[in-house]
Amino acid sequence: MVDIKTIVVLGAGLMGNGIAQVAIMAGYNVVMVDVKQEFIDKGMASINKGVNRLEEKGLLTAAEVLGRIKTSLDLASAVKDADMVIEAVVERMDVKKQVCKTTMDNGPSHIIYASNTSTMDITEIGEDCGAPERVSGMHFFNPVPLMRCIEVIRGDKTSDETFQITMDVAKSLPCLRGERYIAPVLKSRPGFIVNRLNAPLGIYGHYIRDLAYEKGIPWEQLDADYAILKAPMLPCVLSDYVGIDTSYYGALYYVEKLSPDFKPGKVITMMFNEKKLGRKTGQGFYDWSEGRPTPDTSIKAGLVDFDIIAAIRMNEGCRLLEEGVVKSYNVIDEANMAGMNTPGPFERGKDRYKELIKKLEEFVALTGKTYLTPCEMFKTGKFLEMA
Ligand code: 3HC
């Protein structure tokens, strides 16, 4: 089995610099590659800040850890002496395929390419690179140093060795908030586990946000509906945090791969067109110019039905079981907790699933969103045998 010593992290953005930080903390030599020096400088500033903060806490020696990272603007030369590439570039299939091929054309014959795509098919990313058996997925959650989950994805052609090495590297990367949870994704299906589980909430979210907009209800009142969940971030804050463009492109991907019902709603489309992309542009649902907003949640909109949310997530989790993406609903719940710090749907919902099915059927009848129709695994209760 290949011994991974040097990792090229491709992309110095939010995800890339987080991955590079945890990789140097784990002891790997890292070359962080991007297309412009200003992106590299921004990424390095963030890594320096994070590592220095940890030195202040007495957890590491910054000079030693930072001594393990180099940067480059040239992927082809950076991969020459590398054992692995972890790619975190823009969510575009053509770009991902291109950099995967550049890796395989220029890297040593053992090099492994792991994509941090949020949704895209690992098999397709590797199909033209000449070595699809050495292509896998490694999906991190934002912010990488603080979120415990990494999903490791097997494409149709990924070899057992590549999958195992990717699992081992994922396990070796430290997390600052508890132990890493590595979720094996047995089939490359859109959104893998956590994003897929929550993707159809987008259908509900678009519906509710458009409704709130039509009624002139402020976003903080809509977020106030969710305060009861005590999640680490309210939904509109989280959408801003992740990026409105990410949600928008994600929705379009699901339209293409799963159903037209995922079409971005009026509100998200308007924000995308006006470049109100959230934290990265300073304005999204909220104003981020002075840091993370803390919405006043004293007045509720009263629009959100949590039973429908629970039903949508359980139904999608059942689809993941049906499609063979995972073998157990516990993995789905655990991955969601580790990836988003919120509980998954099964533990809480499994004992009243029949009631939830009824609610979901009513919602489908009201909105015509047939993608949400309860699947066989959910309707028959067969998922209960897959703990
Ligand atoms: N290096 C070193 N230390 C760091 C650091 C870094 N890079 N980043 C943060 N820290 C430190 C902070 O300084 C702070 O230290 P302190 O306690 O000594 O002050 C500590 O870590 C905690 O940081 P925060 O105060 O920011 O942490 P919070 O307690 O506010 O929690 C959070 C932050 C974990 C992000 C929490 O708000 C949360 O769980 N939010 C939900 C995030 C989420 O759902 N992410 C998933 C999004 S979906 C996704 O990513 C999928 C993709 O495909 C799009």
Q: Is the CB of 247 under 6 A from ligand 1?
A: no
Q: Does residue 1 register a pLDDT over 80?
A: no
Q: Specify the CATH superfamily of domain 6-188.
A: NAD(P)-binding Rossmann-like Domain (3.40.50.720)
Which residue puts its alpha carbon closest to atom 22 of ligand 1? 146
Identify whether 118 is a catalytic site residue: yes
* The two domains 196-281 and 306-385 share their CATH topology (first three levels equal): yes
Give the residue from 141, 145, 100 showing the smallest Cα distance to 118: 141
pLDDT digits (tens, 9 = 90+) for 304-356: 999 999 999 999 999 999 999 999 999 999 999 999 999 999 999 999 999 99
Identify whether 385 is a catalytic site residue: no
Q: How far apart are the first and last CA of the chain?
A: 32
Quote the pLDDT of residue 92.
87
CA 153 to ligand 1 centroid distance, Å: 24
Give buried/exposed letters for 230-263 (b at 16+ CB in 10 A, else e): eeebbbbbbbbbbbbbbbbbbbebbeeebeebbe
Quote the pLDDT of residue 31.
98
How many angstroms separate the CA atoms of 236 and 379, rounded? 31
- pLDDT, the chain, mean: 97
Band the pLDDT of 376: cuts 50, 70, 90: very high
CA 381 to ligand 1 centroid distance, Å: 36
* Chain centroid to CA 313: 16
Which residue puts its alpha carbon closest to atom 27 of ligand 1? 146
Q: Report the chain's C-alpha Rg in angstroms.
A: 21
Tokens representing 286 are 């909220």
Across the range 202-206, mean pLDDT stands at 95
Which residue puts its alpha carbon closest to atom 5 of ligand 1? 50
Q: How many CB atoms lie within 10 A of CB 29?
A: 18
pLDDT digits (tens, 9 = 90+) for 97-145: 999 999 999 999 999 999 999 989 999 999 999 999 999 999 999 999 9
Marked catalytic residue, from 17, 87, 91, 151: 151
CA 143 to ligand 1 centroid distance, Å: 5
Marked catalytic residue, from 17, 136, 188, 195: 195
Q: What is the dihedral of CA 212, 218, 219, 220, to 10 degrees?
A: -130
Q: How many CB atoms lie within 10 A of CB 162?
A: 25
CA 177 to ligand 1 centroid distance, Å: 8
Domain locations along the chain:
6-188, 196-281, 306-385
Q: Is the CB of 17 under 6 A from ligand 1?
A: no
Marked catalytic residue, from 29, 115, 118, 198: 118
Q: Is the CB of 118 under 6 A from ligand 1?
A: yes
pLDDT digits (tens, 9 = 90+) for 219-246: 999 999 999 988 999 999 999 999 999 8
Q: Is the CB of 338 under 6 A from ligand 1?
A: no
Q: Closest ligand 1 atom to the C-alpha of 340?
A: 44
**CATH topology assigned to domain 306-385:** N-(1-d-carboxylethyl)-l-norvaline Dehydrogenase; domain 2 (1.10.1040)
**CATH topology assigned to domain 196-281:** N-(1-d-carboxylethyl)-l-norvaline Dehydrogenase; domain 2 (1.10.1040)
CA 147 to ligand 1 centroid distance, Å: 7
Across the range 190-201, mean pLDDT stands at 96
**Residues 6+ away with beta carbon under 8 Å from 19:** 9, 86, 88, 116, 140, 144, 173
pLDDT digits (tens, 9 = 90+) for 274-285: 999 999 999 999
**Residues 6+ away with beta carbon under 8 Å from 334:** 181, 183, 344
State the residue for tokens 């770009």: 95
